[in-house]
Structure 1
C-alpha cells in the first residue's frame, strides 16, 4: 500500500508541477475593516492586480521575487481593487531588486524590493509596517495574520481585501509534511496555516505579509498547487529576518 501511495503521489506531483503554487489568497478569513492594514499594497501588471505587497518605507514595497513582471505599478490606500482608485494612489515602480541567490520559488530567496517612483504620502489609509529588528525564530503557535485579495476558496475570486488569523507551525513539522509530498523546503522559510486547520492562503496573489505581534515576519511564497481545501501541507513564507542586511543595504543605497 505504501508503494502504491508513493506512486500516486508521484503522478499527482507531476501533474501539479512539483506540488507548489504561488500562494496568497485568503481561505476562511474575513473582509478587512476599512483603513486597517494600511501597509497593504496591490502589486499590478499593466494596471491589473497580480500580487500583494506591503509598504516598509515611504518609497519601498516588499513582495515576493516570483511576482516580478513587466510594467509593474503599486496601488496603496485601497481595500477594494475593482472600484477604481478613488482616494488610492498608483505609483510606478522605478526599480526591482532581488537577492542574487534567487533562482525560483523552490530554491528559496523569494523576496523582492520595489523602489517606487516617488515617496508615498502617509495618511490614515496608507502607512508602513514594522519589520523585525534582528534575526529570530518564530515560535510555534505564535498568533499571526495574513492578508490579500482574491481566492476565498478554490476558484472563488473576491475584490475586497481579506484577512485571516493563523498560527505559526514548527519548522520541523512543516519540513516533515512537505517531505511527504517529495518536496524539500528551501532555506530561510517559515510556515503558518494550511495544515491541521481550515484557514490559510491559496494560489494567485503572493507577496503579501505574514504579520505577528505587529511585525511583518514573512512573505507569502507558496502552497500545494491548486488545492485550497484545507487541511493540507503548511503554507510557506519567506523569512524576512534572514534578509534584514540585504533589505537595509538596498534601502540605504536606493539601488540594488
Structure 2
C-alpha cells in the first residue's frame, strides 16, 4: 500500500513526464526579442511542438530524454514565433540519442541529443549556445534565465511566441530538503532554480529547454510540481549539463549516437 501511495505521489508531483507534456510553460515571463536566444529550438512531432531544446553545434540540439515519449521527428530553428515557420529553411529531421542510462526523469539522467539530418544554417537568426567547459557549482540565488513556448499560468493557454523569465538558483542542499518534505528524493546530477520562493519558473512542460547562466546552458528543464505552477512549494529541477560533458563531447566527435 505504501509503495502504491508513493507511486501516486510521484505521479502528481512530477510534470512534463507524460505523452501530453506539451510546450514551454513560462510563468510570469516576457516575450523574447528576436535578436536574443538564437539557440532556441522547437522539438516537434507530426502534430507540432512537443518540447523545447537548444542548439550546441551545427549538428546537434540538446533536449530532455523524457521528450522521447513525444516521438519527435524534427526540430525548428530560426524563429521565436511558431506560427511563422518556413519548412524548407527552418525544419531539420533528426535522429535521437538518449543518454544510455536514462530510465525515467525521476531517476535523473534526463538528457538527450538530437542529431540534425544536415548542418544548421548559422546566421543572424540561428547561433549555438556554449556549454560549461567543466563541472560547475552555481552560486546560490544567482540570476539565470529559462525560456520556452506554451502556457503562461496554471491551466492557461499555450502561446506561439517564445517567452523567457529570470529565475534564481536554489542551493542544492535546500532544494533536496524541500523535495524531501513531500517524500521525494532528488536524483543526482541536477540543478534547481525558480519555483519555490518565487512566482517565476516553468510549469508542466517547457521540457528540454535551457537554463542559461552567464551565457552558458547549465541546465535542461526536467520536472517540477504539477498542481501549483504559479507558486509551487518546491524548486524547479533541471539536468546539470556540466555532469554530462564527456558523453556530449563523444557524441559530437563521432557525429552519431
CA RMSD of the aligned region, Å? 2.0
Gaps of 5+ in 2: none
Shift of 1:17: 1.0
Match of 1:108 in 2: 108
Residue 182 to residue 226, structure 1, CA distance change in 2 (3 Å) = same
Task: Tell me, in whole angstroms, the C-alpha distance in 2 between the residues paired with 1:30 and 1:99.
Answer: 32
Q: Which has the higher strand share?
A: 1
Contact 2:192 2:237 in 1 (8 A): yes
Match of 1:55 in 2: 55
Cα-to-partner distance string for 1:134-176 (whole Å, 9 max, x where unaligned): 0111121111000000010012221110000011000000001
Q: For 1:71-82, what aligned pairs fall within 5 Å after superposition?
A: 71-82=72-83
Residue 71 to residue 65, structure 1, CA distance change in 2 (3 Å) = closer
Contact 1:25 1:201 in 2 (8 A): yes
Match of 2:150 in 1: 150
Task: Tell me, in whole angstroms, the C-alpha distance in 2 between the residues paired with 1:223 and 1:26.
Answer: 12
Match of 1:183 in 2: 184
Residue 81 to residue 195, structure 1, CA distance change in 2 (3 Å) = same
Gaps of 5+ in 1: 1-6
- Normalising to structure 2: TM-score of the pair? 0.91
Q: For 1:1-256, what aligned pairs fall within 5 Å after superposition?
A: 14=8, 17-22=11-16, 24-46=24-46, 48-68=48-68, 69-85=70-86, 89-93=90-94, 95-156=95-156, 157-256=158-257
SS at 1:172 equivalent: helix
- Normalising to structure 1: TM-score of the pair? 0.91
Contact 1:40 1:55 in 2 (8 A): yes
Cα-to-partner distance string for 1:9-54 (whole Å, 9 max, x where unaligned): x979836715100184210010111121000000001150000000
Task: Tell me, in whole angstroms, the C-alpha distance in 2 between the residues paired with 1:125 and 1:86.
Answer: 15
Match of 1:3 in 2: none
| Number of residues of Structure 1 aligned to a counterpart in Structure 2 | 247
Contact 1:203 1:226 in 2 (8 A): no
Contact 2:79 2:85 in 1 (8 A): no
Runs of 4+ in structure 1 deviating by more than 4 angstroms, as ranges, are: 10-13
